[in-house]
Each structure stands twice: as C-alpha cells, then as structure tokens.
Structure 1
Amino acid sequence: MGSKREEMRKRQMQIHQEAAASVLQARHRMGNTPTNASNACCFCWCCCCSCSCLTVRSEDEAIQRSSFEHKPEETTNSEESLKPTLEDACSWSISFEKLMKSPSGRSCFRQFLRTEFSEENMMFWLACEDLKKETNKTVVEEKVRQIYEDFISILSPKEVSLDSRVRDVINHNMLEPSSQTFDDAQQQIYTLMQRDSYTRFINSTDYADLLQSLQEPPPEP
C-alpha cells in the first residue's frame, strides 16, 4: 500500500510540473515570459490566487473603469440640472450648432430623443466629446474599447446607425486606439441628429411648452 501511495504522489507532482511548464510555454508564445522564472506568478489551479500581480492589475482595471464610468455620469447630471434662460432657449431654433453648444440645450434635446427611442445618438456624441478630453493613453484605450462595445458593436442594444465606410474606418482605427478613433462616426451621428431629430424637436410641443414656461413671469412669493 505504501508503494502505491508513493507512486500516486509522484504522479501528482509530475502532473503539477507539466501544468506549470505549459503555462510558461503559453506565456512565452504571448511574449509575457517573466525575466526570472523563480519570480513567476504562482501556478494555482483555483480562482482564489492572491498573487500581488493579480491584485495590482485588478486595482488598475478598477481605476480605469471608474474613470470612464463616473465622469460622463457626472457631466450628464450637471447638464440635466441646468435650466435655460429664455434667450438661450430661443437661440436653439436658429441652428443645431447653437443647440449643441448649450449644456441645457443638449439636456432638453436628449430628453426629446428619449421619447423617440434614439437617445443613444446623443449618448454616443457625448462619449466621444469626453474621449477627446482624455490624455492618459491607458484610459484612452479603455474608453475606446467601452465606446465600441456600447455604441458600435452590432450586439449592443445601444448601437448607433453608421454606414459601412465609417465602420471600416473605425475597425482600422481600433488597431491603434486614440482620442480621434471615432471622429468620422461622431460627425455622421451629429449630421443624422441635425437632419432628422432636430427639426422635429424645434416643431415639437415640448419645445413650445418650454418657451411658454420661460416667458411666463415667476409666481409672486
């Protein structure tokens, strides 16, 4: 019996060594082989490995996600809390450009797009504007990936409508992500909103009611 247990122990050790060797070979093929094999990450077979390298990587990814997810949300909330003046609201009918340059204008227009089930167009445009302000290369790459998944992927429920030429440009740009990756797509969506939804918004009862409410004198205390 003792000899059988010894043989089983040796066999387990051999399996463990073979698994470790296969991991090193895989890393070598991916170009991630450590310079010192003795410092390599542990070869745990379970999901509870607490290696410092995994901890640091998880923290970095969390920071990147936080940077992308929270900033646009804060911008959106601040815009939606703004109330336009009568002069500002009247200027929106002059041109689409004036509407889009106004934070309160973008907020009102976005609420209108929501009723037409096309809010993703404004969300994509705002995400691209936020991307252009980013200078950290790592954060830029993460934001580009997230924008692609949210608005470009055909699997996304928020996919925006783009022609094949622009999609080809995006796919080419994704090879080297930058803050200009979606410039062509952003311009196409801007033009789509201008030609399609903008006219309906200006002629809508929502816009008329807004102007009416801004013209009325405030109630006396």
Structure 2
Amino acid sequence: MLAPVDDVVAWGESLDHLLECKTGQLVFENFLRTEYSEENLLFWLASEDYKKITSESEMKAVAKRIYAEFVEVDAPRQINIDCVTRGEISKNLSQPGPNCFDRAQRLIYGLMENDCYPRFLKSDIYQALLEQQ
C-alpha cells in the first residue's frame, strides 16, 4: 500500500497528522494489531464518529454500542481506562451527550501518543513506507 510521500513523512511529525489521514489510520491500525492494541485506535475513531451524530436516538444507540464494545469491564475490545472514567461513562449512558466519551478519548489519545505512536515510528511497517519514498 503506497501512500503519498508527504503523508508518510507528515505521519512522523505528530499523531494528529497520522490520524487525519485515512491511509495513516489503516497503517497505524495494522501496526497496533501486531501489538494486540488496536482497540485504542478503534475506540478513538468510534468516539470521533460519535461526536458527529445529531440524532438523540442514534446517539443513545451508538453510545451503548461503544460502551459494550470498548468500555465495560470484559468488553471484547476493552480499553485501558480508570474506573472513575468508566463509571462516568456508565452514568452518562441514559442521557449520552456529544461529549460522553471525551475524557476516555483524551486518556486513550495520551496512551497512543506516548506509548504506541513512538513505537510505530520505529516499526518496520513505518520504516518500510519511508524507504519506498
């Protein structure tokens, strides 16, 4: 999968640049899958999509789905967040607003930025893409 040189280089500048690019998201997800931690990115992306929802009933349904997949204890793709944040989301589920997952999303972003992203930049996957340029 070839990405434009500008994109691949920009991915190395910041996690934001990487996440702004669809191809970057896919490459990063592939890398995270090798580390068994793709749930972080998938949760972050689901939260971004969730914020764009305007219908209250759809917001409720999607919030419950995100909670079941990523947040609740023993969820299939449980993210690593503290129990206070998990409890806060649980409380918000009855009336979820657009910011329902913001705190958890910030925590996961920080985790990716400080942990997964630096490893991604050193990974064979990213280095190989850089060399193809």
Counting matched residue pairs gives: 133
Residue equivalent to 2:87: 168
Q: Deviations over 1:177-215 (max 9, x none)?
A: 1221111111111110111100000011111111112x2
Tell me: higher relative CO, structure 1 or 2? Use CA pairs within 8 A at least 6 residues apart. Answer: 2
Change (3 A) 1:83 1:136: farther
Distance in 2 between residues matched to 1:127 and 1:93, nearest whole Å: 23
Query: What is the Cα deviation at residue 139 of structure 1?
Result: 0.6
AA at the equivalent of 1:140: M
Q: Deviations over 1:17-45 (max 9, x none)?
A: xxxxxxxxxxxxxxxxxxxxxxxxxxxxx
Give the alignment partner of residue 157 of structure 1, picking from 49, 66, 76. Answer: 76
Query: What is the Cα deviation at residue 171 of structure 1?
Result: 2.3
Secondary structure at 1:129's aligned position in 2?
Answer: helix
Residue equivalent to 2:99: 180
Give the alignment partner of residue 130 of structure 1, picking from 49, 60, 72. Answer: 49
Distance in 1 between residues matched to 2:60 and 2:66, nearest whole Å: 10
Q: Quote the RMSD (CA, aligned, Å).
A: 1.4
Distance in 2 between residues matched to 1:166 and 1:106, nearest whole Å: 25
AA at the equivalent of 1:170: I
> How many percent of aligned residue pairs carry the same amino acid?
38
Distance in 2 between residues matched to 1:98 and 1:126, nearest whole Å: 14
Question: 2:69·2:77 contact (CA, 8 Å) conserved in 1?
Answer: yes
Distance in 1 between residues matched to 2:124 and 2:55, nearest whole Å: 43
Determine whether 1:196 maps to 2:112: no
In the TM superposition, structure 1's runs of 4+ consecutive aligned residues that sit over 6 Å from their partners are: none
Distance in 2 between residues matched to 1:123 and 1:143, nearest whole Å: 14
Query: What is the Cα deviation at residue 165 of structure 1?
Result: 2.4
Secondary structure at 1:94's aligned position in 2?
Answer: coil
Residue equivalent to 1:46: none
Question: 2:29·2:38 contact (CA, 8 Å) conserved in 1?
Answer: yes
Residue equivalent to 2:58: 139
Query: What is the Cα deviation at residue 155 of structure 1?
Result: 2.4
AA at the equivalent of 2:31: F
Unaligned runs of 5+ in 1: 1-81, 216-221
Distance in 1 between residues matched to 2:106 and 2:86, nearest whole Å: 13
Query: What is the Cα deviation at residue 83 of structure 1?
Result: 4.4
AA at the equivalent of 2:20: K
Determine whether 1:101 maps to 2:20: yes
What TM-score, normalized by structure 2, do the two folds share?
A: 0.93
